[in-house]
Amino acid sequence: MSLPKILLSPPHLSGNEEKYIEQAIKTNWIAPLGPNVDAFERELSQYVGSKGAAVTSSGTAAIHLALELLDVGQGDKVFCSSFTFVASANPILYQGAEPVFIDSEPDTWNMSPHALERALEDAQSDGELPKAVIVVNLYGQSAKMDEIVSLCNQYGVPVVEDAAESLGSEYKGKKSGTFGKFGIYSFNGNKIITTSGGGMLVSDDEEALDRARFLATQAREPALHYEHCHMGYNYRLSNILAGVGRAQLEVLDDRVAARRRIFERYVDALADIPGIELMPELEGTLSNRWLTTFTIDPDVSPVKTDKIIQEMGERNIESRPLWKPLHLQPLFKGARFYPHEEDNVVSEQLFASGLCLPSGSSMSDEDQDRVIDAIKNSVRKQLASFVTS
Ligand SMILES: Cc1ncc(COP(=O)(O)O)c(C=O)c1O
């Protein structure tokens, strides 16, 4: 009989969810509005330190609303991190706009200010500055926000911070997701806290957030009958799920501590693998370590991470390659891309040599030991076959 499956990042309930769900049911607040929706928005904005928040049915919906609020339309350009999940960039396509992808840099694996600067210079000389820059904080690590925000301010381009994976993380003492005109979070089932599916748009512009709520409820005008002057969306979150979010938010700091502890155990156990580099944590930042990730330097070791993934799969352990850069995705064929340096494409190197490990905050030490054992075994076997071949 095989051992139970170890997942990458399963949901971890706090025990308080039922209390909020029961309240919602007892009071018949089952609609996508109600006391939990209002309270979840208030509590999350207090936690991250933004003036307000608008809850949505997904993180993708929150990005879409941000682009709509920034008036991104047909033919406009939007810059976006290349090294990310497709959800960061799909809303650019929803708007009929054109993505331009920006490479990563080695210190954070996130958007390279160096590449961004060249892209902005070119856009200015073409007379076509982007309508927005979507900067993503992957696996919990904040991008170099000082440099990125200062460049965008210099060119007057608004920043949308995709903090889907970095809720609870910090950059210079300030919560991740609060550095741009808009920030977004995801409460998808695999995130550090979850509502099963859901998202949040945050901003200091409360008028814009009111407009987001309007657009997210089919752009219904204030009238007795149903009056519509604009195209809208059905993007709000149920009051039941917002209740789940409230219970999850209560334990967010514990979840960050648990994932950081898991990361530290991996570091201790795996440090002696030749060529291994765990995802760095930039000085002055605190990563929620949503997923522990590492690369193996191909110049130092012949060990292949896809073989490790395969062997972990055989032991019923889920692991994944790092995100495939969006400029390599067939969906975005022909899109413009700015590498970190002309002959140094950081996101492609990361994709070719890295993987994500099971990192759920409910993972037991025994399960983590199973993961560590599987990795070490694969590395040992690969090195032995290399020596004998
Ligand atoms: C970086 C990133 N951006 C956006 C999203 C989209 O969030 P959602 O799944 O809630 O739409 C996710 C996760 O799913 C993500 O990892």
pLDDT for 283-317, tens place per residue?
A: 999 999 999 999 999 999 999 999 999 999 999 99
How close is the Cα of 354 to the center of ligand 1, in Å?
A: 20
- The residue whose C-alpha atom lies closest to atom 14 belonging to ligand 1 is 188
Question: Does residue 31 sit in the same domain as residue 164?
Answer: yes
Same domain, 176 and 267: no
Q: Are residues 169 and 236 in the same domain?
A: yes
Two structure tokens written together for 141: 């690590």
pLDDT confidence of residue 366: 98
Q: What pLDDT sits at residue 365? A: 98
Ligand 1 centroid – CA 249 distance (Å)? 18
Name 104's bridge partners: 111
Among 224, 252, 280, the domain boundary falls at 252
Q: For ligand 1, which residues put their CB under 6 angstroms from it?
A: 58-60, 84-85, 87-88, 136, 162, 164-165, 186, 188, 199
Tell me the Cα Rg of the chain.
21
Query: Which single residue is written with the structure tokens 């067939």?
Result: 330
Do 272 and 209 reside in the same domain of the chain? no
> Residue 50: inside a domain, yes or no?
yes
The 10s digit of each residue's pLDDT in 101-111 is 999 999 999 99
227, 231, 234, 237: CA torsion to nearest 10: -90
Is 2 within a domain? no
Q: Is there a domain that residue 237 lies in?
A: yes
Q: pLDDT digits over 368-379, tens only?
A: 999 999 999 999
191 is catalytic: yes
Domain boundary among the residues 252, 269, 304 is at 252
Q: Which of 233, 252, 271 is the last residue of a domain?
A: 252
Q: 128-165, pLDDT tens digit by residue? A: 999 999 999 999 999 999 999 999 999 999 999 999 99
Q: Both tokens of residue 366?
A: 């025994």
State percent of the chain over pLDDT 90: 97
Residues 100 and 175 in one domain: yes
pLDDT for 203-243, tens place per residue? 999 999 999 999 999 999 999 999 999 999 999 999 999 99
CA of 85 to the centre of ligand 1 (A): 7
Task: State the pLDDT at residue 32.
Answer: 85
Same domain? For 244 and 312 the reply is: no
Q: CA 294, CA 296: separation in Å to the nearest integer?
A: 7
Q: How far apart are CA 312 and CA 167, in angstroms?
A: 28
Q: What is the pLDDT of residue 31?
A: 84
AA letter at 18: E
pLDDT the model gives residue 102 = 98
The residue from 191, 307, 333, 376 that is catalytic is 191
Q: Which has more pLDDT, 30 or 191? A: 191
Note the pLDDT of residue 1.
63
Q: pLDDT tens, 328-361? A: 999 999 999 999 999 999 999 999 999 999 999 9
Residue 337 lies in a domain: yes
**CATH code of the domain covering residue 69:** 3.40.640.10
Mean pLDDT for 1-6 is: 87
Do 35 and 133 share a domain, yes or no? Answer: yes
**Position 10 in a domain:** no
Q: Whose CA is nearest to atom 8 of ligand 1?
A: 59
Residue with CA nearest ligand 1 atom 12: 164
Average pLDDT over the chain reads: 97
Q: Could you tell me the pLDDT band of residue 2, with boundaries at 50, 70 and 90?
A: confident
Instruction: Tell me what the mean pLDDT of segment 252-264 comes to.
Output: 98
pLDDT in tens, 156-165: 999 999 999 9
Classify residue 259: in a domain, yes or no: yes
User: How many separate domains does the chain show?
Assistant: 2
Nearest CA to ligand 1 atom 15: 164
Strand ranges (E), the chain: 52-56, 77-81, 98-102, 132-136, 159-162, 170-171, 174-175, 182-186, 199-203, 276-278, 285-286, 292-296, 320-321, 336-338, 354-357
Tell me, yes or no, whether 382 and 328 share the same domain. Answer: yes
Give 381's pLDDT tier (boundaries 50, 70, 90): very high
Judge if 261 and 248 occupy the same domain: no
Looking up residue 353, the CATH number of its domain turns out to be: 3.90.1150.10
Residues 193 and 330 grouped into a single domain:
no
Cα end-to-end span (Å), the chain: 34
Clarify whether residues 279 and 355 are in a common domain. yes
Residue 387 has pLDDT above 80, yes or no: no
Q: For ligand 1, pick from 8, 83, 85, 111 the residue to mutate: most ligand atoms within 8 Å of CB.
A: 85
Do 144 and 212 lie in a common domain?
Answer: yes
Domain for residue 329, yes or no? Answer: yes
- Domain-embedded: residue 11: no
pLDDT for position 286: 98
Domain that holds residue 198: 17-252
